[in-house]
Amino acid sequence: MPPGGGVGCRHGCTAQDQPPATVRRDEEDPLLVLAPLASQKKRKQHEYAQAQEEEQPAASLSEGPLAEILARVPYRSLCRFKCVSKPWLALCSSRDIIRRSPQTLSGFFYYDSDAILSFRNLTGRGPPLVDPSLPFLRERYKLIFVKGFCGGLLLCKCWKLCFMSGESHYVVCNPVTKEWTVLPPIVFPAQENLESIPYLGFDSAVPSRFLVFASLTSGQDDSGKVAIFSSETGQWTYVQSKWASGTHIDHARKTRVFLNGTMHLTTRDNNSIVTVDTEGKVWREIKMPDDLPCTNDIVSIGQSQGCLYAWQIHNPHDCQLYIWVLEDYDTGKWILKHTVNVLELFQRPGSVMLFAVCPDCKVSFLFDGEKMGTHKYTMFAVHPDCNVIFFTDGKKMTLSYNLDNHEVDVICNESMYGLPYIPCFEEFPSGGH
């Protein structure tokens, strides 16, 4: 319990509702015993001194055991502690305490049905942890579109004019500290007409730099060229990929994984994951699990507890979810860790029932008691620190599922393909605004 915070009675009661007070000897308060004997002046002096003491705990406790304890408290808890009193507001707003506090998944950025960037807290309750309108960028840019996320940073494509007209910039920003930096343009060889598809790489354990990987494409075909930006040098370097000939990155997928200093990207043929290190020197291809139930369904990737995850929902058949973990990078060995019946997670007794599946596409047909519709179930994220996964039915529900205790929690009553967000309070790499 924070200092100064007491436990109040939930229900009000009058004096006549109270039984006669009985005080045990070992519970006596000397101040209460002596109060009737003290003069009015002494009582006022005592109250004044007590008020002064309560007004200045932050000054005396900002350094020492309490600060060390608070530095180990998650940020969401610090936000709640700020409501206790003004001294606690000052204490829990300390930059040093917040910077050292452990961070984990706090919520999701997503585009709602009106194509407006929104933010949903992981609990599904309370005001957004960060302002999804990114007002600190709006002073310079009229149009902002989030292209990627990683470790607390966002990669945005920004226009100074509306309707995506005029010159555009790639901007990396930190929505919680409101810091941002503009990337220099990617300079292509004059004879080539290539488009850049960027991916952000950032590890909060190494907050002194971030990287942006840009695959250079010509229409649907990959050129084999990759540009890598480092915030340490402030420049792009251009390298020729060493992936196998004919490798096509799935640019439509939002799930990219930056893990152990390596960017992981899925391919369009669904057969493999390609990787490149931060310097563009180590190129690898990791085959997808051999026991995929369906080669036509999308395989997504993510990272949790330092491991690479892959998952697939067999929508056309039985809506069964399969989750694999890459056990050995050297051999590319995957282990099937979990299987989940997705229909059971979303089914509400007496209201939702599967009555048909399309044999040629990834759609299941259900009856919800009022009208028929199509639901395409999607697992869009895995919790970075525990065995919790996140689903949407593509229509009217988003939920989480704990693989350990099998608990299901509804996050919101709308479809949300969220981009996981973990706040980072470290100072922005050099060159930020």
Reported as a single tens digit per residue, the pLDDT across 61-85 is 445 777 778 877 777 677 778 888 8
Predicted local confidence at residue 388, as pLDDT: 95
Q: How confident is the model at residue 183 (pLDDT cuts 50, 70, 90)?
A: very high
Predicted local confidence at residue 81, as pLDDT: 83
> Is the pLDDT assigned to residue 28 strictly greater than 50?
no
> Is the pLDDT assigned to residue 422 strictly greater than 70?
yes
Predicted local confidence at residue 352, as pLDDT: 40
Classify 31 as helix, strand or coil: helix
Question: Does 273 lie in the same domain as 210?
Answer: yes
Question: Does 177 lie in the same domain as 71?
Answer: no
Question: Does 303 lie in the same domain as 242?
Answer: no
> Is the pLDDT assigned to residue 26 strictly greater than 50?
no
**Is 38 a domain residue?**
no
Q: pLDDT > 70: what percent of the chain?
A: 74
Mean confidence (pLDDT) of the chain: 78
Predicted local confidence at residue 92, as pLDDT: 80
Question: Does 113 lie in the same domain as 92?
Answer: no
Predicted local confidence at residue 13, as pLDDT: 40
Q: What is the CATH number of the domain that holds 214?
A: 2.40.128
**Is 54 a domain residue?**
yes
**Is 20 a domain residue?**
no
Strands (E), 278-332: 283-287, 300-304, 307-314, 320-328
Predicted local confidence at residue 59, as pLDDT: 42
Question: Does 320 lie in the same domain as 219?
Answer: no
Lowest mean pLDDT among 194-198, 280-284, 410-414: 194-198
For 397-406, write each residue's pLDDT tens digit.
Answer: 999 999 999 9
> Is the pLDDT assigned to residue 5 strictly greater than 70?
no
Q: What is the DSSP letter of 287?
A: E
> Is the pLDDT assigned to residue 386 strictly greater than 90?
yes
For residue 380, the Cα-to-chain-centroid distance in whole angstroms is 12
Q: pLDDT > 90: what percent of the chain?
A: 36
Predicted local confidence at residue 3, as pLDDT: 42
* Domain range for 214: 104-287+419-433
Closest CA to 248 of 288, 276, 220, 214: 220
Q: Which residue has the higher pLDDT, 385 or 367?
A: 385
Predicted local confidence at residue 358, as pLDDT: 52
Predicted local confidence at residue 46, as pLDDT: 60
> Is the pLDDT assigned to residue 6 strictly greater than 50?
no
**Residue ending a domain, choose from 81, 102, 123:** 102
Question: Does 408 lie in the same domain as 319?
Answer: yes
Question: Does 332 lie in the same domain as 259?
Answer: no
Predicted local confidence at residue 295, as pLDDT: 72
Question: Could you give the number of structural domains in the chain?
Answer: 3
CB 160 within 8 A of CB 167: yes
**Is 169 a domain residue?**
yes
**Is 19 a domain residue?**
no
Lowest mean pLDDT among 30-39, 58-67, 126-135, 410-419: 30-39
Predicted local confidence at residue 278, as pLDDT: 92
CB 254 within 8 A of CB 417: yes
**Is 385 a domain residue?**
yes
Measuring CA to CA, how many Å separate 76 from each of 64, 92, 96, 105, 331? 22, 11, 16, 10, 40
Q: Which residue has the higher pLDDT, 166 or 415?
A: 415
Question: Does 231 lie in the same domain as 319?
Answer: no
For 357-378, write each residue's pLDDT tens digit.
Answer: 455 544 444 444 334 345 578 9
Tokens of 30: 């000397």
> Is the pLDDT assigned to residue 215 strictly greater than 60?
yes
Question: Does 112 lie in the same domain as 69?
Answer: no
Predicted local confidence at residue 288, as pLDDT: 93
For 283-331, write each residue's pLDDT tens digit.
Answer: 999 999 998 887 777 899 999 999 999 999 886 667 889 999 999 988 9
Predicted local confidence at residue 39, as pLDDT: 57
Predicted local confidence at residue 89, as pLDDT: 83
Predicted local confidence at residue 171, as pLDDT: 96
In degrees, to the nearest 5, what angle opens at C-alpha 31 toward C-alphas 30 and 33? 65
Question: Does 360 lie in the same domain as 269?
Answer: no
Question: Does 109 lie in the same domain as 98?
Answer: no
Question: Does 357 lie in the same domain as 225?
Answer: no
Predicted local confidence at residue 303, as pLDDT: 94
**Is 31 a domain residue?**
no
**Is 151 a domain residue?**
yes
Predicted local confidence at residue 354, as pLDDT: 43
CB contact burial 291-321 (16+ within 10 A = b; e otherwise) = ebebeebbbbbbbbeeebbbbbbbbbeebbb
